[in-house]
Amino acid sequence: MNRKEKRNQKKKKGSNLVELDLFKQKARERYIIKTATGRLMGLHLHVLHDEFGFGKKRLSKFVNATVKMTKAMVNGDFTDDELIQNALEEFNIRI
């Protein structure tokens, strides 16, 4: 292998490392989001059960509706800012 081929190979390895770092970073971000979302969902379920008497059936409906709305938000149907504004306008609750 000549010098030019060696340099090209090093460049390729370097770009692979950058891609690998980006992949690891994105995977970590997904993990953090999933963990935070799970913890918040757990918190909400406990509050709804303990403070408002929700049972398994209504908690299950809540989870399904939350997942559905989250998917819609990820798909761009609405933004989190719109949700916050809607809570203020419709329910007079400032988040």
Q: What is the pLDDT of residues 51-71, one digit of tens each?
A: 999 999 999 999 999 999 989
Query: Amino acid identity, residue 80?
Result: D
Element (H, E) at 58: helix 56-74
Contact indicator for 63, 41 with CB cutoff of 8 Å: yes
Q: What is the pLDDT of residues 5-46, one digit of tens each?
A: 777 766 665 556 677 788 888 898 889 988 988 999 999 999
Q: What is the pLDDT of residue 30?
A: 86
Q: What is the pLDDT of residue 74?
A: 87
The verdict on pTM exceeding 0.85 is no
Cα 41-74-71 angle, rounded to 5 deg: 55
Of 32, 33, 27, which is closest to residue 73 (Cα–Cα)?
Answer: 33
What whole-number distance in Å separates Cα of residue 95 and Cα of residue 89? 11
* Domain locations in the chain as residue ranges: 1-53, 55-95
